[in-house]
Amino acid sequence: MVSLTASFSVIDSHTAGHPTRVILSGIPKLSGTSVLERRNDFKSRLDRLRPALLHEPRGHAAMVGLIPTHSDVADYGAFFISSYVYLDMCGHGAIGFAKTLAFTGQISPETGDSFTLETPAGVVTVGLVWGENGALKAVKIRNVPSYVGLENLTIEVDGIGTVKADIVYGGMWYALVDAASLGLNLDPDFASTLMLKGSAIKQAIKQTIAATPLFAGSAAPSVLFYTADSASEAKHFLVLESNKFDRSPCGTGTSARLTYLLHKGILNPGDTYRARNIFGIPFEARLSETTRVGDRDAVVVEIEGNAFVTSSQTIFFEANDPLSKGFLSR
C-alpha cells in the first residue's frame, strides 16, 4: 500500500523546446487582490512547492511552472515559477498556457480569437490563431511595455575579457550580448560552454549594476547571446544560470532585442523581427504600439509562437520519500 502526502494535476507543454508545467490542482488557496499579491503570498508561504514540483526527480533545472489564479481585471490570471527566481512575465510560458487552455477545451474558436491574462508584470493580451480544423495554430502575446535601461555597458570578465552589453526590459531584464564579438558559436554542441560564459557575464553585470536604482528589487539581467544574420533575423541563446538556458528564443528576451533595434533605428516600426533558437525554431516579433514608462520611451511588442502538449499527469508525493523537496545538480 502506498501512502501519499500530496498530489498535483499538471499539463506539460513545450514552446520551441522550452517546457511549461501548468499546475491545475493541489495549490492551497492564496490570499491577495491581484495576481502579484497572490504570487507574493505563494512565495512567502509555499515556496517549498516550487523546487518540489519543478526540480528533479519530478522535473529538471530548466522546468518552468505556471500557476493559474483568479483575476479581477482580466479573463485569466497566472504567475510563473522557475528554478531560481520568480518571473514577472514569461512569453513562452504564456504561449504554453494558451495551448493548455485549448487542450482542455477552456478556449476554442467559439470563445474568440483572444483573451486577456493578468501576470505579475501587468495584463497582456493573448491572440489566438485557429486552424480550419479548430486546432490552435499560433499564439500572439501582446507583451507588457519594453524599454532600454542601460546602453553600452562595458565590463571585464575573468576568462572572457572585455564584454559589451545593452540592458533592456522586456518583462524581465536582459543583457544583450553579440556572441560573434566574443567568438562564440550558438550551437547545441556548445551549450555547456555558453552557459558557463553567460553565467560569468551575468554575475559580473550583477555586481556592476548593484547600486543602480533602476534595477533595485529586480532579478539580475539574464544574458541573451545573439548572432545577427541580418537586421531583422538572428539566432538567440539565453543564459539563465550556469546549468540552465532557455530552449526557446525567449519571448520577453525577443521583446527586449526588438525594442533595442527599434531604439537604434536599425529596424523600422513596420518591420518583423525573427528570432530563432539553436534548433532553428522561430519566434516572430512586431511593434504593436509606442508608449511611455515613467520618463522613458517604451514600446509594446507582440511575440508570435506556438506550443505543443507533451503530457498530462498527476505528480505524487509519497510519505517518507527522502527527495520530496526536490534537488538540483549544478
Q: At 44, is the secondary structure helix, strand, or coil?
A: helix
| Residue 57: cis peptide before it, omega within 30 degrees of 0 | yes
Beta strand segments in 62-101, E: 65-69, 76-81, 86-87
Cell matching residue 209: 549594476
Cell matching residue 60: 529538471
All residues at 6 or more sequence positions from 307 whose CB lies less than 8 Å from its CB, including other chains: 13, 14, 15, 20, 92, 95, 96, 98, 99, 139
Long-range contacts at 192-195 (CB < 8 A, ≥ 24 apart) = 194/225, 194/237, 194/239, 194/245, 195/239, 195/241, 195/242, 195/243, 195/244, 195/245
Cell matching residue 158: 575573468
Positive or negative, the Cα torsion across 204, 208, 212, 216? positive
- Residue 29 is classified by DSSP as P
Cα–Cα distance, 330 to 314 (Å, whole number):
27
Active site residue ranges = 90, 250
Positive or negative, the Cα torsion across 186, 192, 195, 197? negative
Strand partners, 146: 299
Q: Contact at 8 Å (CB) between 89 and 121?
A: yes
Which DSSP string do the residues of 148-175 spell out, in sequence order?
Answer: EEEEEEEEEETTTEEEEEEEEESSSEEE
